[in-house]
Structure 1
Amino acid sequence: MNLTAPQKSRLKVLIVDDHLAIQQDLEYFFQQQSDFIVVGACGTVHEAKELINATKPDLLLLDIGLPDGTGFDILDYKPTQAKVIFMTAYNDNASLALRYSAIDYLLKPINENELREALQKVIKAHPLLREQIDIAQDSFRKRKKPDCIVLQSGQFEEITEVKDICYIQGEHGSTVVFLNGGKKVVTPKCLKYYEELLPAELFLRTHYSYLVNKFYIQRKHRKKDILSLKDGTEIPVSLRKKEMINLHFKTL
């Protein structure tokens, strides 16, 4: 564990990763950044807690898998103003847990350009909500898809129950999530992101631009490639998705 004296006005960074080479690479990277300074680096949950108390970092770079626990364990001890970027080796369960909760993460080995982009986002972002941490932690530990996900919308993160999502429409590089009751949330993620995130047993990709919750489908037009939802919304069905939709109705 090492500790460095902070310089005024820079954002203080704490690195937590049990690979010394990664610690050193990240420290070297931050030496080239005028807006950040590394105030500590360590490889265990226990050391991280001590360094958090000692340095009050503005940003935590956390590995998920550590010798004495996980990066999630550290979040219970972080100062409320600290922002977080997770680092993880390619792991479907770990990365999905973070995606459910809209927590930024980087895949190892760390790409410098991706790290720079993540840092720019984290400067503008709000600290994590307690609910975001709980969703990610619960999904990671229980290896299950959660009942809630976090939708990013402009400057906000919104906790949303999966069952309340009626359908999602992709448009111009972003998506609009339509919720039960008429509310809608515009997010910067693409439709493919939500198709991979949400359970396939609940959602159908009916069209290039639409992902629909099966629960809200009421009927299928026989002569038109259209689905009607319970609230009267009409959803198009593409030609290549028509057979899948027909099979869905046959199996009900």
Structure 2
Amino acid sequence: MNPPAPLRVIIVEDLPAIRKDLEYLLHQQPGFTLIGACATVREALVLIQSTRPDLLLLDIGLPDGTGFDILEQMRPVQSKVIFLTAHQEYAIKAIRYGAIDYLLKPLDLDEFKEALQRVSHAQPLLEEQIAIASQSFRKQKLQDNLALRSQQCVQIVGLEDICYLQADNGCTTVFLNGGKKIVTTKFLKDYEELLSGTSFLRTHHSYLINGTYIDRYHPKKGVLYLKDGTEIPVSLRKKEIVDLHFKKLL
């Protein structure tokens, strides 16, 4: 059986030193072949149109726009994507809202290899992933939807449809209104961080709850009851936070 064809890669990065580092690192990785590199949105769109790459290594901040501008003009997006970004908290959060892979600059070799391995098994981005990440980046806050990555695919869900999230052996199970559940590949603490400032409340080391689905709270029992009857434990460590949440509602 013949091995799969290598993924054809374009690098879009305006800093020459980082672009050269990426080219060097990519040449060391089997299963990937570099077919082009450029530094601007305009150059990238021309290069992508003519080569149809399998994978984009895509800087967010470019001299004439952003990596999101490129993706929004590529419709439909038929490439896998790894974003490149410096330590910009709002940019990183936006990318994570869309469940899109990213690398921090300066680059780390092990992280680079891991990202390539992950993306080699991934599907091209959904338009909804791009929209979630792009709008969150531009408005610097989470929008109404969140992308959830499971072992099989990426699913888009509305925040209002998430009842609660439960830690499960290094993964997180997301329970939706209506009984459906999705097992994702992220840790619960990742979702706690992503959903900070929203209606979600950490009640226990294993539970993150959407406050809009809470029916009642029994502080002496240390139990929250959701509107569908689900019982959620409140740990001693989280009791003060939960108590404060309900005092604010009074």
Query: Structure 2 residue aligned with 1:130, among 123, 127, 130?
Result: 127
Q: CA deviation at 1:247?
A: 2.0
Query: Structure 2 residue aligned with 1:53, among 49, 54, 62?
Result: 49
- Is 1:18 aligned to residue 14 of structure 2? yes
- Is 1:154 aligned to residue 151 of structure 2? yes
Query: Structure 1 residue aligned with 2:116, among 115, 119, 124?
Result: 119
4+ aligned runs moved over 6 Å, structure 1: none
Output the CA distance in 1 between the equivalents of 2:28 and 2:248: 59
- Is 1:74 aligned to residue 77 of structure 2? no
Output the CA distance in 1 between the equivalents of 2:238 and 2:151: 32
Q: Which runs of 5+ in 1 are unaligned?
A: 1-7
Greater shift in the superposed pair: 8-17 or 237-246 = 8-17
Q: Tell me: CA distance 1:78–1:57, structure 2 relative to 1, closer, same or farther (3 Å).
A: farther
Q: Tell me: CA distance 1:106–1:78, structure 2 relative to 1, closer, same or farther (3 Å).
A: farther
Query: Structure 2 residue aligned with 1:93, among 74, 77, 90?
Result: 90
Deviations 1:76-97 (A, max 9, x none): 2277431110000011111111
- Is 1:238 aligned to residue 235 of structure 2? yes
SS of residue in 2 equivalent to 1:241? helix
Letter of the 1:12 partner, please give it.
Answer: R
Query: Structure 2 residue aligned with 1:38, among 34, 40, 43?
Result: 34
Specify the alignment match of 1:4 in structure 2.
none
SS of residue in 1 equivalent to 2:141? coil
Letter of the 2:98 partner, please give it.
Answer: S
Specify the alignment match of 2:139 in structure 1.
142
Q: CA deviation at 1:34?
A: 2.7
Letter of the 2:21 partner, please give it.
Answer: D
Output the CA distance in 2 between the equivalents of 1:9 and 1:175: 34
SS of residue in 2 equivalent to 1:34? coil
Deviations 1:162-200 (A, max 9, x none): 111111100210111011111111001000000000133
Output the CA distance in 1 between the equivalents of 2:198 and 2:127: 28
Greater shift in the superposed pair: 44-53 or 218-227 = 218-227
Q: Tell me: CA distance 1:51–1:227, structure 2 relative to 1, closer, same or farther (3 Å).
A: same
Q: Is this contact kept in 2: 1:56–1:79, CA < 8 A?
A: no
User: Taking structure 2 as the reference length, what is the TM-score of the superposition?
Assistant: 0.94
SS of residue in 2 equivalent to 1:223? coil
Output the CA distance in 1 between the equivalents of 2:198 and 2:58: 32
Q: Which runs of 5+ in 2 are unaligned?
A: none
User: Taking structure 1 as the reference length, what is the TM-score of the superposition?
Assistant: 0.93
Q: CA deviation at 1:223?
A: 2.8
Q: CA deviation at 1:220?
A: 1.2
Structure 1 vs Structure 2 CA RMSD: 1.5
Letter of the 1:104 partner, please give it.
Answer: D
Q: Tell me: CA distance 1:49–1:144, structure 2 relative to 1, closer, same or farther (3 Å).
A: same
Q: Tell me: CA distance 1:222–1:92, structure 2 relative to 1, closer, same or farther (3 Å).
A: closer
- Is 1:180 aligned to residue 177 of structure 2? yes
Letter of the 1:41 partner, please give it.
Answer: A
Query: Structure 2 residue aligned with 1:168, among 162, 165, 169?
Result: 165
Output the CA distance in 2 between the equivalents of 1:222 and 1:240: 13
Specify the alignment match of 1:102 in structure 2.
99
